[in-house]
């Protein structure tokens, strides 16, 4: 497959939000909220434009990933910058052909080149373990509430890069959206009807 990875431009935003919506719709809950999260994350100070990447195939956008900065605060009140990625999605027609893998690996290499140390995220362990993600407890990183569980993971961008980084993880507040926010966002746009798909 002759795919190209490039940065997202403002004129891609609508098309990318449609792609995210199509990929996440009814997968983890009825409907989805990830298209709104992406919309808000791009406006956040934590957004990392250098890691806002798309995959195209014959000029069609078929995949996307975006990153935000987050912090891990240790018991002494020191903040350590880490990255968080997501949403990440590949159009359902093009899934399970290595596109997600290429996008994640490319962006992780770029993140290291940009000087970041590691990534912390919530996601499917089944999928993320192949990229080196481990239970965040392996690094002494907990959720904001001090918890650990399988779906809360972290990875070092190079061995040892997260040495000294431990504490509670605070993702960007733009990740938190309400069902009402989603309803309003859906009303504000002419999103296609996916209910029957
Ligand atoms: C998750 C997603 C981005 C993966 O993209 P993709 O292009 O389908 O992934 P790849 O083809 O690179 O998959 C690589 C491997 O992971 C496996 N895999 C893919 N999706 C998986 C999933 N959801 N859970 C577990 N394993 C998965 C594939 O079988 C493949 O394994 P293999 O290399 O041994 O054959 C894509 O399926 C998607 O958009 N899903 C809906 C949105 C979503 O769930 N995003 C992630 C949120 S945590």
Of 189 and 195, the structure prediction assigns the larger pLDDT to 189
Q: Which atom of ligand 1 is nearest to the CA of 91?
A: 39
Does the Cβ of 88 fall within 6 Å of ligand 1?
yes
Q: Give 82-109 pLDDT, tens digit per residue.
A: 999 999 999 999 999 999 999 999 999 9
**Alpha carbons 177 and 181: distance in angstroms, whole number:** 6
**Alpha carbons 174 and 168: distance in angstroms, whole number:** 18
Does the Cβ of 95 fall within 6 Å of ligand 1?
yes
Domain that holds residue 114: 3-174
Kindly state whether residue 81 falls inside one of the protein's structural domains: yes
Residue 164's domain is classified under what CATH number?
A: 3.40.630.30
Confidence of residue 196 (pLDDT cuts 50, 70, 90): low
Kindly state whether residue 180 falls inside one of the protein's structural domains: no
Does the Cβ of 23 fall within 6 Å of ligand 1?
yes
Kindly state whether residue 75 falls inside one of the protein's structural domains: yes
pLDDT at 197 over 70: no
State the distance from the centre of ligand 1 to the C-alpha of 141, rounded, in angstroms: 25
Count of structural domains within the chain: 1
Q: Give 56-90 pLDDT, tens digit per residue.
A: 999 999 999 999 999 999 999 999 999 999 999 99
Q: What is the torsional sign of CA 188, 190, 192, 195?
A: positive
**Alpha carbons 97 and 52: distance in angstroms, whole number:** 21
Kindly state whether residue 197 falls inside one of the protein's structural domains: no
Kindly state whether residue 72 falls inside one of the protein's structural domains: yes
Q: Average pLDDT, whole number, for the chain?
A: 96
Kindly state whether residue 74 falls inside one of the protein's structural domains: yes
Phi, psi dihedral angles at 119 (to 5 degrees)? -130, 135
Does the Cβ of 101 fall within 6 Å of ligand 1?
yes
Give DSSP secondary structure letters for 42-85: TTSTTB-GGG-EEEEETTEEEEEEEEEEEEEE-TTS-EEEEEEE
Kindly state whether residue 182 falls inside one of the protein's structural domains: no
Kindly state whether residue 192 falls inside one of the protein's structural domains: no
Q: Which atom of ligand 1 is nearest to the CA of 104?
A: 12
Structural element, H or E, at residue 22: helix 13-24
Nearest CA to ligand 1 atom 17: 127
Does the Cβ of 13 fall within 6 Å of ligand 1?
no
């Amino acid at each position: 497959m002759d795919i190209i990875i490039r940065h997202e431009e403002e004129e891609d935003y609508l098309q990318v939000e449609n792609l995210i919506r199509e990929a996440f719709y009814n997968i983890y809950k009825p409907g989805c909220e990830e298209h709104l999260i992406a919309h808000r994350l791009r406006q956040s100070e934590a957004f990392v434009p250098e890691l806002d990447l798309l995959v195209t195939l014959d000029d069609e956008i078929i995949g996307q990933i975006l990153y935000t900065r987050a912090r891990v605060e240790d018991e002494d009140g020191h903040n350590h910058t880490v990255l968080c990625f997501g949403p990440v999605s590949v159009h359902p027609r093009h899934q399970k052909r290595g596109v997600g893998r290429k996008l994640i690996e490319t962006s992780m290499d770029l993140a290291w080149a940009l000087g970041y140390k590691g990534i912390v995220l919530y996601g499917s362990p089944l999928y993320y373990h192949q990229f080196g993600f481990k239970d965040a407890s392996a690094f002494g990183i907990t959720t904001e509430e001090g918890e650990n569980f399988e779906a809360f993971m972290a990875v070092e961008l190079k061995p040892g890069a997260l040495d000294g980084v431990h504490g509670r993880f605070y993702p960007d507040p733009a990740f938190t959206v309400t069902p009402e926010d989603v309803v309003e966002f859906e009303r504000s746009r002419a999103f296609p009807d996916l209910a029957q798909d």
